[in-house]
């Protein structure tokens, strides 16, 4: 049988796709199922001594106050972080479009934090935010505002960590929106101007709807990022991770502590399954709610 050229190409494409597919199945999907399996056992280093406990760990999930705290904190991080970084990113991208020169310079500056290692960022910020020596409090005092404890206060620590993460992700967000803005054909704006539209209406009816794909991507990726928040939290308060008083504890950090400081890998796996379900669910909901066809 002779294949058409198109079919032959498709066949080759499938052959090449099997390699990353196998990789994905083995290194991504298989461990996910393994976690599910692990969550049904009491962990022991020797596989022969792992005791089957069924849904015991899932019952424990329901009555674990630390887990509730971690879950609540994680949601707060997401609710604070995602809208802030998208709003700020969009504003900066729109402003950058108006700048006649030095755009690359600004872009590089905004992008720099994103490529700086999170550990270094956390270290520098913990100094900047110090109540007694920090630059931020220095400025507040100049403005007549009393020094704030930031990372040491159980009420301020979480928004402070969220702010550091927003600051760090901002550059990536700006670059995304700039690319999105570039991709909108100029003719639309010209046509609208001829019809008498200006300023806000141009944004409302052309820019915003046509940025939708970028927005969906940002919301989904941003949400997943905040739901998995770990590095900054660990390093901003290294000796009392997730502290003070669990006010910055996230799900990912809790999983890490359970698994690798307390060696309760079975229960940690159950929390992992919960996090997995949470991410899957929010992603599906977001994709459904946010994606829309644009009619011009």
Partner 1 sequence: MRKLLAFYALFFPLTLAQSVTITYWQYEFRSKVEAINELIRRFEAQNPGIKVVHQTFPYDAFQQKVAAAIPAGQGPDVVNLYYGWAPTWVKAGYLAALPDDWARRLDQGFVAMAQAAKVGGKLYGVPTAVRSLALFYNKDLFRQAGVAAPPKTWEEFIAVGQKLTVKQGGRFTQIGYGIAPDGQDHHLVREVLVRQFGGRPYSDDGKRVLYQGEAGLKALSFYTDWVRKYEIGVPGFFPGNNGYRDGFIAGRIAMIIDGSFAIGTIQQGARFNWGVAELPLERPGGRKANFGSFWMHGLTPLATGPKREAALRFLSFITSEETQRFWLEKVGELPASKNLIRDPKLSLHPIYGPFVLSLAYAKATPFVDEAAQRKVMVDAINRVLLQGMDPAQSLRIAAEEEQKILDQFWR
Q: What is the CA radius of gyration of the chain?
A: 24
- Rounded to a whole number of angstroms, the minimum distance from the CB of residue 244 to partner 1 is 5
136 binds partner 1 (CB under 8 A): no
Q: Residue written as tokens 């899932």?
A: 58
In angstroms, the CA 164 to CA 125 distance is 8
User: Among residues 126 and 207, whose Cβ is nearest to partner 1?
Assistant: 126
User: Of the two residues 150 and 172, which places its CB atom closer to partner 1 in the complex?
Assistant: 150
Separation between Cα atoms, residue 169 and residue 172, nearest integer Å? 6
Region of 11-19, 44-52, 170-178, 283-291 interacting with partner 1 (CB under 8 A): 44-52
- 248 near partner 1 (CB under 8 A): no
State yes or no: residue 146 binds partner 1 (CB under 8 A): yes
Please, what's the b/e burial string for 131-147 (b: 16 or more CB within 10 A of its CB; e: otherwise)?
A: eeebebbeeeeeeeeee
d(CA 221, CA 218): 5
Stretch that binds partner 1, among 99-107, 109-117, 142-150, 205-213 (CB under 8 A): 142-150
* E strand residue ranges, 79-140: none
Please identify, among the stretches 25-33, 93-101, 236-244, 269-277, the one whose residues bind partner 1 according to the rule CB under 8 A. Answer: 236-244
**Cβ 137 to partner 1, closest distance in Å?**
7
For residues 190 and 240, which CB has a smaller minimum distance to partner 1 in the complex? 240
Q: Which residue among 84, 207, 250, 257 contacts partner 1 (CB under 8 A)?
A: 257
Report residue 51: phi and psi, to 5°: -90, 130
């Amino acid at each position: 049988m002779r294949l058409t050229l198109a079919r032959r190409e498709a066949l080759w494409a499938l052959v090449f796709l099997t390699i990353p597919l196998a990789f994905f199945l083995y290194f991504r999907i298989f461990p996910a199922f393994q976690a599910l399996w692990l969550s049904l056992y009491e962990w022991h280093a020797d596989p022969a001594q792992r005791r089957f406990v069924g849904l015991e760990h899932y019952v424990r999930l329901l009555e674990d106050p630390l887990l509730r705290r971690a879950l609540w904190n994680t949601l707060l991080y997401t609710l604070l972080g995602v809208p802030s970084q998208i709003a700020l990113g969009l504003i900066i991208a729109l402003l950058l479009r108006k700048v006649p020169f030095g755009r690359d310079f600004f872009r590089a500056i905004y992008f720099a934090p994103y490529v700086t290692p999170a550990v270094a960022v956390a270290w520098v910020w913990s100094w900047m935010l110090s109540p007694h020596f920090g630059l931020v409090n220095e400025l507040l005092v100049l403005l007549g505002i009393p020094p704030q404890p930031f990372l040491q206060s159980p009420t301020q620590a979480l928004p402070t960590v969220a702010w550091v993460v927003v600051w760090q992700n901002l550059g990536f967000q700006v670059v995304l929106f700039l690319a999105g803005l570039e991709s909108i054909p100029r003719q639309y704006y010209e046509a609208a101007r001829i019809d008498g539209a200006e300023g806000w209406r141009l944004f409302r009816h052309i820019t915003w709807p046509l940025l939708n794909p970028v927005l969906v991507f940002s919301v989904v990726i941003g949400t997943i990022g905040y739901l998995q928040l770990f590095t900054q939290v660990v390093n901003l308060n290294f000796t009392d991770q997730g502290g003070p008083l669990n006010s910055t504890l996230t799900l990912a950090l809790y999983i890490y502590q359970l698994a690798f400081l307390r060696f309760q890998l079975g229960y940690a796996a159950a929390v992992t399954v919960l996090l997995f379900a949470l991410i899957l669910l929010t992603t599906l909901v977001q994709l459904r709610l946010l994606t829309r066809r644009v009619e011009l």
